[in-house]
Copies of this chain bind each other. A is one copy, B any other.
Amino acid sequence: MHAPVELADIAADVLARIRDRAPRVHCITNTVAQNYTANMLLAAGAVPSMTIAPEEIVSFVGGADAFLVNLGTFDEERRSAINVALGAVQTARMPWVLDPVFIERSPGRAQFARDLLAREPTAVRLNAAEFASLFGGDAADEAASRVAKACGTVVALTGNADIVTDGARRVTIANGDPLMNLVTGMGCAGSALVCAALAVETDAWLATNAALIALGVAGEVAAQSARGPGRFASWILDALHDLDRVTLRARAKVS
């Protein structure tokens, strides 16, 4: 296992590589979160693209370094684009993240998420309700590890504390601030940040940790001066943009 300070250092390394390499992240994501997701990626140093047109998605994905599938807007065009894009993504062995937003509210969306899971995403980021909808039962640590092993994916189960596991390794990240729950698209943008990290770090478990530690610490820094959700939404982007190794080491709460 990695010591906490080591994981904070890896988060700093991954951020430095994102800033240096400016990886392209193609996002098929919901219309509510598109703008904020793009701004989060830009603040981290990555380059977003967002087209969903099936006839050009392969061209876009072909130039990308990582791919995000977020089910928050569940229309015919996006479903078609996701299917087409994943062919190109898998041929290129490109990392991709599944964010199965709100699947607990819609059986059709849950089934689509199950089909996507069978295509082996590099990581799945979801909350407890989405986890229960996708895998049944409770969302305890053991279940997350079992699912990660069975599906061959990194599971990032987010909540008051985030659990990140690849089946063999597991870490709990206790960073963040309650204001993060009052900004729409924060979780969606977090999944995009995981994509950016996967683009520059081949160990998917370390990359996922790095992204979630960075976002949580940025949230804590932002909450020091922005005590309302409106300002906080902007301040956290600035905190992520400025995040440095010293702050990550001082604040990362991993166990």
Using a CB–CB cutoff of 8 Å, the interface residues on chain A facing chain B are 30-36, 38-39, 42-43, 48-53, 55-56, 59-60, 63, 72-75, 77, 102, 105-109, 181-185, 227-231, 233-239, 241-242
State the majority secondary structure of interface residues on A: helix
Closest residue of B by beta carbon distance from A58: B106
Give the distance to chain B from A192, nearest Cβ to Cβ, in Å. 12
Instruction: Tell whether, in the assembled complex, residue B233 and residue A230 are in contact, meaning their CB atoms are under 8 Å apart.
Output: yes
Assembly CA distance A35 to B233 (angstroms): 12
- In the complex where A52-B75, A63-B105 touch, is A234 in contact with B230 (Cβ < 8 A)? yes
Q: Which residues of B have CB within 8 Å of A231?
A: 234-235, 238
Which of A72, A184, A241 has the largest count of B CB atoms less than 10 A from its CB? A184
Give the distance to chain B from A107, nearest Cβ to Cβ, in Å. 7
Give the distance to chain B from A214, nearest Cβ to Cβ, in Å. 15
Assembly CA distance A5 to B73 (angstroms): 43
Which of A39, A63, A230 has the largest count of B CB atoms less than 10 A from its CB? A230
Contact of A105 among B31, B55, B60, B109 (CB under 8 A): B60
Instruction: Tell whether, in the assembled complex, residue B234 and residue A238 are in contact, meaning their CB atoms are under 8 Å apart.
Output: no
Assembly CA distance A234 to B31 (angstroms): 20
Closest residue of B by beta carbon distance from A239: B228
Closest residue of B by beta carbon distance from A61: B105
Give the distance to chain B from A26, nearest Cβ to Cβ, in Å. 10
Instruction: Tell whether, in the assembled complex, residue B48 and residue A184 are in contact, meaning their CB atoms are under 8 Å apart.
Output: yes
Instruction: Tell whether, in the assembled complex, residue B39 and residue A53 are in contact, meaning their CB atoms are under 8 Å apart.
Output: no
Q: Mind listing 23 A-B residue pairs with CB under 8 Å?
A: A30-B50, A31-B50, A32-B35, A35-B184, A35-B185, A39-B182, A39-B183, A42-B181, A43-B228, A43-B230, A49-B105, A50-B73, A51-B73, A51-B74, A52-B73, A52-B75, A53-B73, A56-B74, A56-B108, A60-B102, A228-B238, A230-B236, A234-B234
